[in-house]
Amino acid sequence: MTTKSFELPLRIDWSELDIFGHVNNVSYFKYIQSSRLNYWEQLGIDATKYPKPLGVMLASCTCKFMKPLFYPDTITLKVSLDFIKNTSFGFHHQILNSKNEIVAEAHDVMVMFNFEKNEKVLIPDELRKLME
């Protein structure tokens, strides 16, 4: 599947380090969240586009850590659509350091959800077209 991919540069902050002097694993998930949000923003989607009760919910997020990150550094987050089904879709993320080395890869599964009915629903055609 050929889909849009987007990049987001971020500066590592000193507060993201752990006791061992490298970026804490929790920060990687914050980066992934920023990458996800950047995807929506680049497509022009915000909360007003799909008003409540319809929304997207994160069903799972996995991350494979390959190399540590250190302060100071700037990272690049890359995100692309991994798959799209009837009610769910997935993102593939890469986190690269300033040497352009992949330091982590992550996969999200997102579900289209009706928060009023508390159930998953079909992905609207308009959203599907934007993502594809």
> What is the count of structural domains for the chain?
1
CATH number at residue 114: 3.10.129.10
Q: What is the pTM of this model?
A: 0.92
Phi-psi region at 118: left, alpha or beta (left = phi > 0; alpha = psi -120 to 50): left
Strand 54-65 and strand 119-120: the pairing is unpaired
pLDDT tens for each residue of the chain, 132 residues long:
557 899 999 999 999 999 999 999 999 999 999 999 999 999 888 777 766 788 899 999 999 999 999 999 999 999 999 999 999 999 999 999 999 999 999 999 999 999 999 999 999 998 999 898
Q: How many CB atoms lie within 10 A of CB 60?
A: 11
Contact present, 66 and 103 (Cβ < 8 Å): yes
Domain that holds residue 123: 5-44+53-131
Contact present, 66 and 105 (Cβ < 8 Å): yes
Q: H or E segment at 42?
A: helix 25-43
21 vs 64, 72, 104, CA distance in Å? 20, 11, 18
d(CA 118, CA 84): 21
Beta partners for residue 78, in sequence order: 7, 94
Tallying the residues shown for the chain, one arrives at 132
